[in-house]
Amino acid sequence: MSELLRQAIQEADALLPIERATGIRRYALRRFRDGKQSLRLDLADKLAAHFGIECRPPRRRKG
């Protein structure tokens, strides 16, 4: 999940719109993107919702 969020931040044009939409400060977004800091789960949830990234349980295999 972290790598998906990092990629989405990297592909974004700027950090300011993400900060405004999620309330997560640009310096925290930059440090997370650069691999220098992790995110609390509630902040990761906000980013995932902002970028439309969903986490689903794995499908159960029959048999």
Q: Rounded to an integer, what distance in angstroms lies between the CA atom of residue 32 and that of residue 9?
A: 9
Q: Please enumerate in sequence order all residues whose Cβ is within 8 A of that of 47, keeping only pairs 6 or more positions apart, or say none.
A: 5, 8, 9, 18, 22, 24, 39, 53
Residue 52 pLDDT class (50, 70, 90 cuts) = very high
Residue 63 pLDDT class (50, 70, 90 cuts) = low
- Residue with more model confidence, 61 or 5: 5
**pLDDT tens digits along 14-49:** 999 999 999 999 999 999 999 999 999 999 999 999
